[in-house]
């Protein structure tokens, strides 16, 4: 997967954002999915945003007044700043092939993958504009060419999160992380960080082919607030064991290449808050819950999954 053109409008997003204080308590608001609909949890109430049962991967805007998500394969943005009595939505795409969206740091653009986790086009959509489609050289167009149609073979025992077609835009505006990319020419599964200015892709994790013997996947990438670390959900085969390893969250220092586990086995879909604190999805009381993770301690917030939050 290669970038054909990156415009000045996109490159201008490369700017360091101010540091945020660490969250000492669960953030407000939190967007999440329950029973196929997007919900928002605030300090005072929890309310639904979508009602059709086909929504996934909500992402709060930088100012926390809107939430973007994919519904039936189309990107929708809902205004939530007026509370549950004043929610209104706008469908931005109509191709029915969109994965989970990610906001640019300034809130002017949305990025998403058109296609599945194994193939597709990275798309950047300019908000407040009709510009979209296969327009190389313009922000708001499809900026990655070379759709790869080869899909990995099914892997019995692997979690459905291997199909999580989500990405993340770094807070400093320089990079986008996503499953797949040029590394698909070498590996069966991989996670990539794309530098928007240089068009260089860096493989962060990979399985199968290229000397990597284990099978596995890495999805749901999220950057740290300073853009220096990347976190994701991972699962892999363990040699001489009948079943894959548990789902785990891993952190990765992009400069030193140091890797470590975050939280407990079974924690997934990390949102980094700073100071060893995260919002995650985990199993609790026999179902999926949104949890506030501080060190190794979980605070169970609300039944649901695929949560998103903002620092500060």
Q: Is residue 60 part of a domain?
A: yes
3-state secondary structure of 266: coil
Of the given ranges (205-214, 233-242, 263-272), which has the lowest mean pLDDT?
205-214
Into how many domains does the chain fold? 1
Which of 6-20, 89-103, 198-212, 281-295 has the lowest average pLDDT? 6-20
Write down the residue that tokens 């509370």 correspond to.
Answer: 83
Q: Considering the domain boundaries, does residue 253 fall inside one? A: yes
Whether residue 152 is contained in a domain is answered as: no
For residue 190, what is the enclosing H or E element? strand 189-195
Nearest to 161 by CA among 98, 223, 85, 216: 216
d(CA 113, CA 142): 10
From 40-44, 93-97, 132-136, 194-198, the region with the lowest mean pLDDT? 132-136
* Alpha-carbon span 106 to 12, nearest angstrom: 10
* Alpha-carbon separation of residue 138 from 55, 69, 144, 168, 231 (angstroms): 28, 23, 12, 20, 30
- pLDDT tier at 209 (50, 70, 90 boundaries)? confident
The domain containing residue 64 runs over which residues?
Answer: 2-13+27-146+158-309
With respect to residue 18, please indicate whether it lies within any of the assigned structural domains: no
The verdict on residue 19 lying in a domain is no
Cα–Cα distance measured from residue 244 to residue 159, given in angstroms and rounded to the nearest whole number: 9
Asked if pLDDT for residue 20 goes beyond 60, the answer is no
Structural domain contains residue 205: yes
Is the pTM here over 0.85, yes or no? yes
The three-class DSSP label of residue 269 is: strand
d(CA 145, CA 5): 9
Rounded to the nearest 5°, which phi and psi values hold at 86? -130, 40
- pLDDT tier at 157 (50, 70, 90 boundaries)? confident
Is it the case that residue 149 has pLDDT exceeding 60? no
Tokens for 161, please give them: 């999160």
Name the residue with tokens 């853009």: 227
Q: Which residue has the tokens 């740290």?
A: 224
Q: Name the band, by pLDDT with cuts 50, 70 and 90, for residue 129.
A: low
How is residue 142 written in tokens? Answer: 């499809």
Domain presence at residue 54: yes
CATH of the domain at 73: 2.120.10.30
- Do the bridges between strand 88-91 and strand 74-79 make them parallel or antiparallel, or are there none, so unpaired? antiparallel
The pLDDT tens digits for 57-91 are 999 999 999 999 999 999 999 999 999 999 999 99
Is residue 302 a contact partner of residue 40, using CB atoms and an 8 Å limit? no
**21 in any annotated domain:** no
């Amino acid at each position: 997967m290669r970038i054909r053109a990156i415009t000045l409008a996109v490159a201008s997003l490369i700017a360091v954002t101010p540091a945020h204080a660490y969250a000492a308590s669960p953030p407000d608001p939190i967007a999440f999915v329950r029973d196929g609909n997007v919900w928002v949890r605030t300090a005072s109430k929890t309310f639904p945003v979508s009602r059709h049962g086909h929504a996934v991967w909500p992402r709060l805007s930088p100012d926390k007044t809107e939430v973007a998500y994919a519904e039936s394969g189309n990107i929708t943005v809902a205004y939530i700043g007026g509370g549950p009595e004043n929610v209104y939505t706008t469908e931005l795409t109509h191709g029915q092939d969109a994965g989970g969206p990610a906001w640019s740091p300034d809130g002017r653009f949305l990025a998403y993958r058109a296609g599945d986790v194994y193939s597709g086009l990275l798309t950047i959509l300019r908000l407040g504009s009709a510009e979209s489609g296969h327009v190389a050289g313009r922000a708001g167009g499809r900026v990655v060419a070379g759709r790869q149609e080869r899909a990995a073979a099914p892997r019995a025992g692997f979690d459905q999160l291997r199909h999580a077609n989500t990405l993340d835009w770094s807070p400093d505006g320089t990079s986008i992380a996503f499953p797949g990319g040029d590394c698909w020419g070498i590996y069966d599964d991989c996670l990539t960080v794309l530098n928007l200015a240089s068009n260089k892709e860096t493989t962060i994790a990979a399985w199968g082919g290229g000397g990597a013997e284990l099978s596995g996947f890495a999805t749901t990438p999220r950057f740290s607030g300073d853009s220096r670390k990347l976190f994701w959900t991972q699962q892999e085969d363990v040699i001489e064991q009948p079943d894959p390893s548990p789902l785990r969250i891993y952190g990765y220092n992009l400069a030193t290449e140091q890797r470590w586990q975050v939280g407990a086995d079974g924690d997934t879909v990390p949102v980094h808050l700073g100071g060893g604190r995260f919002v995650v999805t985990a199993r609790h009381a026999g179902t999926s819950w949104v949890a506030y993770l501080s060190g190794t301690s979980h605070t169970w917030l609300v039944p649901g999954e695929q949560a998103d939050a903002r620092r500060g």
